Chains A and B, each alone.
Chain A
Amino acid sequence: MTTYDDQLALPSGLSDGPRQPLGIFARPRNANGFVDWLTTVDHKKIGIMYGAASLFFLIIGGVAALLIRIQLATPNNTFLSGDAYNRIFTMHGTVMVFLVVMPMGAAFANFLMPLQVGARDVAFPRINAFSFWVFFAGGLMLNTSWFIGGGAPNGGWFNYAPNNGVAFSPAAGIDFWNIGLLITGIGSLTGSINLITTVLNMRAPGMTLMKMPIFVWMTLVTQFLLLFAIPVLTVAQVLLAADRLFGANFFNVELGADPLLWQHLFWIFGHPEVYLMILPAFGIVSEVIPTFARKPIFGYPFMVFSGVAIGFMGWGVWAHHMFVSGIGPLSVTAFSVATMFIAVPTGVKILNWLATMWGGKLILNTAMLFSIGLVTQFTIGGLSGVSHAIAPSDTQQTDTYYIVAHFHYVLFGGALFGFVAGFYFWWPKAFGYRLGERLGKWNFWTMVLGFNLTFGPMHILGLQGMPRRMQTYDPAMGFGLWNMVASWGSFILALGILMLLVNVVQSHLAWRRAGRPNVGADPWDGRTIEWSIQSPAPSHNFDVDPAVTSLDDFWHRKYQPDETGKLRRIHTGDEIAQPGDPTGVHLPAPSYWPIVLAMSMPIVGYALIFNLWLMIPGVLLMTLSLWGWALEPADDLDPHDDDGAGQGDSASPDGGDGATAEPELETVS
Chain B
Amino acid sequence: MTDTAAREMPLEPENELQDDVAVVDDHGSDIAGHDDHEGHHSSLGLSNMKLAMWLFLGSECLLFGALISTYLLSKARFLTELVALNPRVLDGLRDGGMPEELIQEFIAEGSVEPIFDIPFTSGSSFILLMSSLTMVFAHKAVSEGNYRNSRVWLAATALLGSTFMAGQVYEFTIFFREGLTYGGSLFGSGFFTLTGFHGAHVTGGIIMLLSLLVLSFRGKLQSNRAETVELVGLYWHFVDIVWVLIFTIVYLIP
To the question of whether A and B form a pair in one complex, the answer is: yes
Tell me the A residues contacting B by CB distance below 8 Å.
7-11, 119-121, 123-127, 182-183, 185-186, 189-190, 192-194, 196-197, 200-203, 205, 207, 227-232, 234-236, 238-239, 242-243, 246-250, 252, 254-258, 261, 265, 268, 540, 545, 584-588, 597, 622, 626, 629-635, 654-655, 657-659, 661-663, 665-666, 668-669
Check A186/B193 contact, CB under 8 A, given A200-B43, A200-B51. Answer: no
Q: Find out whether the CB atom of A661 lies under 8 angstroms from the CB atom of B5.
A: no
Q: Find out whether the CB atom of B48 lies under 8 angstroms from the CB atom of A201.
A: yes
Q: Among B12, B78, B186, B211, which residue has its beta carbon within 8 angstroms of that of A124?
A: B12
Q: Find out whether the CB atom of A201 lies under 8 angstroms from the CB atom of B186.
A: no
| CB of B156 closer than 8 Å to a CB of A | no
Q: Find out whether the CB atom of B33 lies under 8 angstroms from the CB atom of A10.
A: yes
Q: Find out whether the CB atom of B148 lies under 8 angstroms from the CB atom of A668.
A: yes
Q: Find out whether the CB atom of B15 lies under 8 angstroms from the CB atom of A633.
A: yes
B56 cross-chain contacts in A, Cβ below 8 A: 193
Q: Find out whether the CB atom of B2 lies under 8 angstroms from the CB atom of A231.
A: yes
Q: Find out whether the CB atom of A186 lies under 8 angstroms from the CB atom of B1.
A: yes
Check A189/B35 contact, CB under 8 A, given A231-B62, A255-B89, A658-B19. Answer: no
Sort A-B residue pairs by CB-CB distance and give the 7 closest, nearest first: A8-B33, A658-B22, A247-B183, A256-B81, A666-B219, A231-B63, A634-B15
Q: Find out whether the CB atom of A634 lies under 8 angstroms from the CB atom of B37.
A: yes
Q: Find out whether the CB atom of B14 lies under 8 angstroms from the CB atom of A630.
A: yes
Q: Find out whether the CB atom of B5 lies under 8 angstroms from the CB atom of A540.
A: no
Q: Could you say which of B66-74, B106-114, B120-128, B169-177 contacts chain A? A: B66-74
Tell me the B residues contacting A by CB distance below 8 Å.
1-2, 4-5, 7-8, 11-12, 14-16, 18-19, 21-23, 25-27, 30, 32-37, 39-44, 46, 48, 51-52, 55-56, 58-60, 62-63, 66-67, 70, 73-74, 77-78, 80-81, 86, 88-89, 92, 145, 147-148, 182-183, 185-186, 188-190, 193, 197, 211, 219-220, 222
Q: Find out whether the CB atom of B26 lies under 8 angstroms from the CB atom of A238.
A: no
A244 vs chain B, min Cβ distance (A)? 12
The interface centre, meaning the residue of A258, A626, A658, A665 with most chain B CB atoms within 10 A of its CB, is: A658
Distance of A659 Cα from B17 Cα, bound (Å): 11
Q: Find out whether the CB atom of A630 lies under 8 angstroms from the CB atom of B11.
A: yes
Distance of A657 Cα from B18 Cα, bound (Å): 9
CB-CB nearest in chain A for B150: A668
A383 vs chain B, min Cβ distance (A)? 32
B145 cross-chain contacts in A, Cβ below 8 A: 668
B89 cross-chain contacts in A, Cβ below 8 A: 255-256
Check A201/B43 contact, CB under 8 A, given A182-B1, A257-B74, A261-B73. Answer: yes
Q: Among A207, A239, A634, which residue has its beta carbon within 8 angstroms of that of B70?
A: A239
B26 cross-chain contacts in A, Cβ below 8 A: 10-11, 654, 657
**Chain A interface SS verdict (over half):** helix
Q: Find out whether the CB atom of A228 lies under 8 angstroms from the CB atom of B59.
A: yes
Q: Among B52, B189, B197, which residue has its beta carbon within 8 angstroms of that of A248?
A: B189
Check A189/B5 contact, CB under 8 A, given A250-B189, A255-B92. Answer: yes
Check A201/B66 contact, CB under 8 A, given A10-B34, A231-B59, A657-B26. Answer: no
Q: Find out whether the CB atom of A197 lies under 8 angstroms from the CB atom of B55.
A: yes
Distance of A120 Cα from B197 Cα, bound (Å): 37
The interface centre, meaning the residue of B16, B42, B145, B148 with most chain A CB atoms within 10 A of its CB, is: B42
Q: Find out whether the CB atom of A634 lies under 8 angstroms from the CB atom of B16.
A: yes
A657 cross-chain contacts in B, Cβ below 8 A: 22, 25-26
The interface centre, meaning the residue of A197, A255, A629 with most chain B CB atoms within 10 A of its CB, is: A255
CB-CB nearest in chain B for A186: B1
A48 vs chain B, min Cβ distance (A)? 21
Check A261/B39 contact, CB under 8 A, given A634-B19, A668-B147. Answer: no
A81 vs chain B, min Cβ distance (A)? 34
Q: Among A231, A252, A626, which residue has its beta carbon within 8 angstroms of that of B66?
A: A231
A254 cross-chain contacts in B, Cβ below 8 A: 88
Check A654/B22 contact, CB under 8 A, given A123-B39, A124-B37. Answer: yes
Q: Among B18, B22, B44, B182, which residue has its beta carbon within 8 angstroms of that of A200?
A: B44
A359 vs chain B, min Cβ distance (A)? 35
Q: Could you write out 7 A-B pairs with CB less than 8 Å apart?
A: A11-B26, A193-B56, A201-B48, A248-B189, A654-B26, A658-B19, A665-B222
B30 cross-chain contacts in A, Cβ below 8 A: 8
